[in-house]
């Protein structure tokens, strides 16, 4: 589950990004999406704080996230980063444990942290 720092549950992607997210997902196979979500969940299972931009690192070669760049976003790096961030957001919303997020100046992505309300 995903929450704001104020404790309000978030149950959808940002409204302005849903169409973009859906179009990227359609360019990926179910197996590719599953592998990406599994890796994101593995990272979230391993710690109480995760920064989205640090999960894949700067080189996605050989990772489950590589198809984002080549298949989902047609080799557009900015679109790939946007999609990855939305995929993390969507994956965290589907988890059973509770997470909130903040945007920090030191990281390009969102920093997620485990919470108990």
Report in angstroms the alpha-carbon separations of 18 from 5, 14, 41, 74, 90.
22, 7, 21, 18, 10
On whether residue 101 sits in a domain, the answer given is yes
On whether residue 103 sits in a domain, the answer given is yes
Judge whether residue 67 has pLDDT over 90: yes
On whether residue 1 sits in a domain, the answer given is no
H-type alpha helices, 68-116: 77-93
The pTM assigned to this predicted structure is 0.93
Structure-token match 């973009």, residue found: 20
On whether residue 30 sits in a domain, the answer given is yes
On whether residue 6 sits in a domain, the answer given is no
On whether residue 63 sits in a domain, the answer given is yes
The string of pLDDT tens digits covering residues 1-20 is 999 999 999 999 998 899 99
CA distance 21 to 99: 21
Number of domains in the chain: 1
On whether residue 45 sits in a domain, the answer given is yes
The string of pLDDT tens digits covering residues 42-58 is 999 999 999 998 888 88
On whether residue 9 sits in a domain, the answer given is no
**Domain range for 75:** 16-114
CA distance 81 to 20: 12
Give the residue with greater pLDDT, 104 vs 90: 90
């Amino acid at each position: 589950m995903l929450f704001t720092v104020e404790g309000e549950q978030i149950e959808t992607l940002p409204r302005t990004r849903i169409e973009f997210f859906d179009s990227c997902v359609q360019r990926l196979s179910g197996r590719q999406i599953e592998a990406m979500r599994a890796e994101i969940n593995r990272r979230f299972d391993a710690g109480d704080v995760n920064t989205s931009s640090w999960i894949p690192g700067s080189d996605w070669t050989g990772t489950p996230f590589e198809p984002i760049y080549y298949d989902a976003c047609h080799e557009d790096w900015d679109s790939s980063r946007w999609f990855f961030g939305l995929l993390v957001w969507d994956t965290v919303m589907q988890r059973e444990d509770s997470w909130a997020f903040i945007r920090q100046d030191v990281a390009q992505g969102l920093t997620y942290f485990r919470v108990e309300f």
